[in-house]
Amino acid sequence: MSEDCIFCQILSEQASCYAVHETRYTKTFLDIFPVAPGHCLIVTKDHYQDIFEATPDAISMVGHVSTLIAHTVKDELQADGVGVYQLNGAAAGQTVFHYHMHVIPRNTGEEISIHSRLPGDPAELEAMAARLSARAYSMREDE
Ligand SMILES: [Zn+2]
């Protein structure tokens, strides 16, 4: 736990989030600055700054969940594709220094970006989180 880390604050419920999915080792919630509707972040429950600090096991758990979340957004939102991104260090575009992975639904013809400066609408984020969460928990482990 790092006190000034927003993801640690979310994990300890000192800050709210639009939750999608949770395992013993990971939590998935919506990016509040979505570059596309359904833009998810998968974070490790332990605080690691980046790939250079995180354990291979922690990274594996995020990777494991990323398959579930990718299927979830593709199926629920009928996305043409899904971008899965993981950034390490400011030079690589990392903006929150707690290990996380972006899962972003993509549609043909849309501009590709990883970060947005525009916050999502709270009501839309809440509805989206409910849809994706229901879909994620309805999927079988092997899907
Ligand atoms: Zn943290």
Instruction: State how far the Cα of 55 lies from the Cα of 60, in Å rounded to an integer.
Output: 9
| pTM for the predicted model, two decimal places | 0.94
Cα–ligand 1 centroid distance for 107 (angstroms): 31
Question: Domains in the chain: how many in total?
Answer: 1
> What does the pLDDT read at residue 60?
97
Residue 1 lies in a domain: no
Cβ pair 114, 104 in contact under 8 A: yes
Cα–ligand 1 centroid distance for 129 (angstroms): 21
Cα–ligand 1 centroid distance for 13 (angstroms): 12
| Domain of residue 36, residue span | 6-138
Tell me the CB-side half-sphere exposure of residue 118, using CA atoms within 13 A: 6
Residue 52 amino acid letter: F
Residue 64 lies in a domain: yes
Point out the residues of the chain with pLDDT beneath 50: none
Residue 33 in tokens: 């600055």
- The CATH number of residue 13's host domain is 3.30.428.10
> What does the pLDDT read at residue 141?
62
Cα–ligand 1 centroid distance for 94 (angstroms): 13
Residue 143 lies in a domain: no
Cα–ligand 1 centroid distance for 45 (angstroms): 8
Cα–ligand 1 centroid distance for 108 (angstroms): 34
pLDDT digits (tens, 9 = 90+) for 95-126: 999 999 999 999 998 887 778 788 999 999 99
Helix, coil or strand: residue 24: coil
